[in-house]
């Protein structure tokens, strides 16, 4: 990993100490995650002040190894060791998140390579924080990763973290209709990042409408399949449905509406994806 300078070692010790105190707060269920993020930001600002003072006292120099300043803290967070205090969340995770925030917001310039490395760190931390049941903190990590991938014009990385960010935000919501709506959007189209999922739901709709038409419509299976597929893309006229059972006519109206909405949303999301690729 390369030699760590005394200044970085000193700041890393401060980060570890602050992360331990913050982990103790996380272990206490008396405060919400959103409330704790204010404390987290205070910890980051304190470390930033320390880093800025250290940078001001010495001539800036570009890191020869081209890696991240706190790479040793990120390595420790890959397989975090449980703390002696028995906290539910290893303090190595908050320490790595604080360090990443300091690098992201700090005075040291981030090259394109370091932006990519930091984005990967944030993305990995987001996954670990989700597993630790800290969706608000995970959302912060994914938001940073998405921004860094965008800076490097990595569309795939940006979309991948955008999807994970949307899922983390939904998971952070209290149980209720808003969370259910978010989960439905994920299942239907991956929050817009996976438009081809809609084609699966289109197939499900066609099967449901065709089955109902065959049972109730009174026409042959082949004719019903043709009418259902046609109606899904183009509404049937009065002459097309006059000889059908009265119970099946509303079905074709509903199918036409569902087809219009489904295909409009699909093509809108598909065009968005094409123009971003």
**Each residue of 5-16: pLDDT tens digit?**
888 999 999 999
Out of 69-73, 213-217, 261-265, pick the least confident: 213-217
Q: Residue 146 and residue 160: Cα distance in Å, rounded? A: 8
Secondary structure tally for the chain: helices H, strands E: 12, 0
Residue 81: how many CB atoms within 10 A of its CB? 9
- The stretch 27-34 carries a mean pLDDT of 83
DSSP 69: T
pLDDT tier at 65 (50, 70, 90 boundaries)?
Answer: low
221: DSSP letter = H
Confidence band for 177, pLDDT divided at 50, 70 and 90: very high
User: Domain residue spans in the chain?
Assistant: 6-188, 197-276
Cα separation, 121 vs 132, whole angstroms? 16
* Residue 129 CB coordination number (10 Å): 25
Eight-class DSSP state of 195: T
How far apart (Å, rounded) are the C-alpha atoms in residues 77 and 224?
59
pLDDT at 75 over 90: yes
Q: pLDDT value at position 48?
A: 94
Reduced to 3 states (helix: H, G, I; strand: E, B; else coil), residue 65 is coil
Average the pLDDT over each of 22-31, 87-96, 111-120, 134-143 and give the range with the smallest value.
Answer: 22-31
Q: Is the pLDDT of residue 90 over 90?
A: yes
Q: What is the pLDDT of residue 277?
A: 59
Distances (CA, A) of 7 to 51, 97, 248, 277: 9, 19, 76, 42
| Whole-structure pTM value | 0.86
Q: What is the mean pLDDT of residues 119-143?
A: 97
Is a pLDDT exceeding 50 seen at residue 60?
no
Two tokens at 106? 């700090």
For the record, the structure tokens of 61 come out as 């120099």
Token pair belonging to 118: 């930091």
């Amino acid at each position: 990993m390369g030699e760590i300078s005394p200044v970085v070692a000193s700041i890393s010790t401060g980060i570890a100490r602050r992360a331990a105190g913050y982990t103790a707060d996380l272990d206490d269920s008396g405060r919400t995650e959103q409330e704790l993020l204010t404390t987290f930001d205070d910890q980051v600002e304190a470390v930033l002040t320390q880093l800025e003072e250290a940078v001001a006292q010495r001539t800036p120099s570009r890191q020869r190894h081209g890696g991240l300043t706190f790479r040793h803290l990120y390595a420790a967070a890959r397989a975090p060791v449980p703390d002696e205090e028995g906290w539910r969340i290893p303090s190595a995770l908050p320490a790595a998140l604080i360090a990443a925030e300091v690098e992201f917001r700090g005075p040291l310039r981030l090259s394109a390579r370091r932006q990519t490395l930091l984005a990967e760190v944030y993305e990995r931390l987001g996954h670990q924080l989700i597993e630790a049941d800290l969706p608000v903190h995970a959302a912060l990590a994914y938001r940073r990763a998405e921004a860094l991938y965008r800076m490097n014009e990595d569309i795939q990385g940006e979309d991948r973290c955008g999807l994970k960010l949307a899922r983390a935000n939904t998971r952070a919501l209290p149980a209720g209709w808003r969370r259910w709506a978010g989960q439905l959007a994920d299942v239907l189209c991956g929050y817009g990042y996976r438009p081809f999922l809609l084609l699966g739901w289109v197939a499900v709709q066609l099967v449901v409408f065709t089955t109902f038409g065959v049972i109730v419509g009174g026409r042959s299976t082949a004719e019903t399949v043709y009418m259902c597929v046609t109606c899904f893309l183009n509404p049937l006229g009065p002459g097309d449905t006059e000889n059908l059972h009265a119970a099946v006519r509303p079905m074709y109206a509903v199918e036409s509406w569902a087809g219009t909405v489904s295909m409009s949303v699909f093509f809108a999301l598909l065009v968005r994806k094409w123009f971003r690729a």
